[in-house]
Amino acid sequence: MIYTIKFLPLTVNVIFLFLMSFYVSSKDAKTVQATIYEPRLLVIIIFVCFSIIYGIWIQGRNLNLFEYVLVKIKSIKFSKGMAFIFLASISASVSPMPIVAWMGHDSAQFGTLVFFLSIAILLAFASGDIPSEFYIIPLSCCVFIMFTLTIFESVGFRPMTHWFSSPSIVYPAATIGLRQHLGGWFAIMALQPVFFYRNRQKNVWFYLWISSGLIGAAVCTTSAATIGLLIGLIFWTLSEIANKKLTALIFLIMFILSSLLLPQATESISDRLGNPKNIYKPYTSTTTLKTRLILWKAAARGSADRPLLGWGSQTFATFLPRLLTDDDLFRLYRLELGISDKSPIRRYVIGYEYKYHGKWKHFNLQYIEPHSALFSEIYSRGILSTILLLIIILSYINKYRGRYFLSYISAFFPYIFYLLFWFYLVPATPMYFALLGIAHKDMIEDATNQS
């Protein structure tokens, strides 16, 4: 019975991690949303339901369902977490677009409900009694498979086009759907070995995992992910200085060289093979930052209009034209389209048109989020929920301060930095919450043992 109790959740957890990384729908729809987002939302719902049922079975075997629920209700205590869930629920419910606020925009599908489900995933992994070492080989394999797909696509092969293809996809995209989002996935995974091996001897799985993750991130050329990983590597290097180890420094140098050289190398190989070229935005480009500043300006204005409870998750695309002047809005579009500052733009029946070589061309750009999780939280849920969320995060980080704190920061900071310039994603963010759950259990144990 004990063996079954431990084996069952471990198996389910590992299957969940693999499905969240690679599951794509086999139906005929070719959009990223239909082939990647919707199937993984189903995986999330099934996993959370299983975790709840399994938790009731384990904890309430001597009680019937009514008795168990009654005991749980009596044990509920008002906490910062409960207050955040309450405020976020009120925010979504009073939003001008409550259905979108709860369920998410059709193009992204990460509304308040999925955020709550991600928290449930964190709790499920944190409450289990599975040692973190059991996740090392499965997660190493996940990263290596994703790395392999990324390398294939970086030299022009398209192994995933049988499942989905779209003119909006920027390769390499693997099973995440977009190069920039794939960079975020690698920001989550690349430095996790630093935490998982904080008190273990490094072996082949460590080097396979971290090398695959860092090289995969380098090929994606996502600036926020690259900088986040550089900072994480610096933290790791600092944690090893006292022990006079060079492993972190070697990987730091390797990542810098890979980031500078691999994009050009893969482009050259793709040319020689006669494969399609990938679109790489150089790190020196300022276009992305300029568009971010305009989006953040719009989010700030929206937050000022509804400061307490916000507008609701992923309603930003609908209200963006109201939050910016035409000058700012058209400047944003010109930057995104890569056209001259003087190119005329006009409103159309649905979307807009811009003049190109004397002809009007239709376009319809949508920004689902302000491209910053911080601005998104303030805009979507209001200042009260955002402050409460930050207090919760900082209170847990304070509990982790101890011998392995720098290892923890090295592993988990890169995605936090990435989110300062991007947003929550169905194929990536729930994985991060799962890893936070595994790490929470370990960090609490480490702190207890140290004290």
- The per-residue pLDDT for 128 is 82
Mark out the alpha helices in 312-372 (DSSP H runs): 316-323, 326-337
CA pair distance 129, 271, nearest whole angstrom: 51
Least confident range from 3-12, 82-91, 389-398: namely 3-12
Q: Is 383 exposed, middle or buried (0-12, 13-18, 19+ CB in 10 A)?
A: middle
- The per-residue pLDDT for 393 is 92
| Mean pLDDT on 30-35 | 80
Written as one letter, the residue type at 427 is P
Beta bridge partners of 362: 353
pLDDT exceeds 80 at position 396: yes
pLDDT exceeds 60 at position 3: no
Give per-residue pLDDT as tens, 302-321: 999 999 999 999 999 999 99
Whether residue 340 lies inside any domain: the answer is no
Instruction: Name every residue whose Cβ is closer than 8 Å to that of residue 421 and which is 6 or more positions away in sequence.
Output: 223, 224, 292, 371, 372
Nearest Cα neighbor of 371 from 450, 447, 294 is 294
- The per-residue pLDDT for 284 is 73
- The per-residue pLDDT for 62 is 64
Whether residue 221 lies inside any domain: the answer is yes
Whether residue 337 lies inside any domain: the answer is no
- At residue 163, φ and ψ (nearest 5 deg) are -95, -45
pLDDT exceeds 80 at position 267: yes
- The per-residue pLDDT for 142 is 97
Element (H, E) at 118: helix 112-127
Structural domain boundaries, residue 125: 2-280+371-450
Tokens standing for 413? 């900071």
User: Who wins on pLDDT, 19 or 1?
Assistant: 19
Instruction: Name every residue whose Cβ is closer than 8 Å to that of residue 122 and which is 6 or more positions away in sequence.
Output: 433, 434, 436, 437, 440
Q: Is 376 helix (H, G, I), strand (E, B) or coil?
A: helix
C-beta atoms surrounding 359 within 10 Å:
8
- The per-residue pLDDT for 235 is 95
**Number of compact structural domains in the chain:** 1
Range 97-120 burial, b when 16+ CB lie within 10 A, else e: bbebbbbbbeebbbbbbbbbbbbb
**Strand arrangement, sheet containing 345-347:** 345-347, 352-356, 359-363
Whether residue 12 lies inside any domain: the answer is yes
Q: What share of the chain is helix, strand, coil (3-state, %, to 5)?
A: 65, 5, 30
Whether residue 230 lies inside any domain: the answer is yes
Whether residue 82 lies inside any domain: the answer is yes
Least confident range from 238-252, 273-287, 387-401: namely 273-287
Q: Model's pTM, two decimal places? A: 0.94
Give per-residue pLDDT as tens, 156-215: 999 888 777 777 788 999 999 899 999 999 999 999 999 999 989 999 999 999 999 999
CA pair distance 360, 326, nearest whole angstrom: 18
Give per-residue pLDDT as tens, 414-433: 999 999 999 999 999 999 99
- At residue 143, φ and ψ (nearest 5 deg) are -65, -40
The length of the chain, given as a count of residues = 451
Residue bearing tokens 């005991």: 71
- The per-residue pLDDT for 51 is 92
Asked whether the beta carbons of 312 and 97 are under 8 A apart, the reply is yes
Whether residue 360 lies inside any domain: the answer is no
User: Who wins on pLDDT, 182 or 445?
Assistant: 182
Whether residue 38 lies inside any domain: the answer is yes
The band of 2, judged by pLDDT with boundaries at 50, 70 and 90, is: very low
| Mean pLDDT on 94-98 | 97
User: Who wins on pLDDT, 263 or 349?
Assistant: 263
Asked whether the beta carbons of 136 and 130 are under 8 A apart, the reply is no
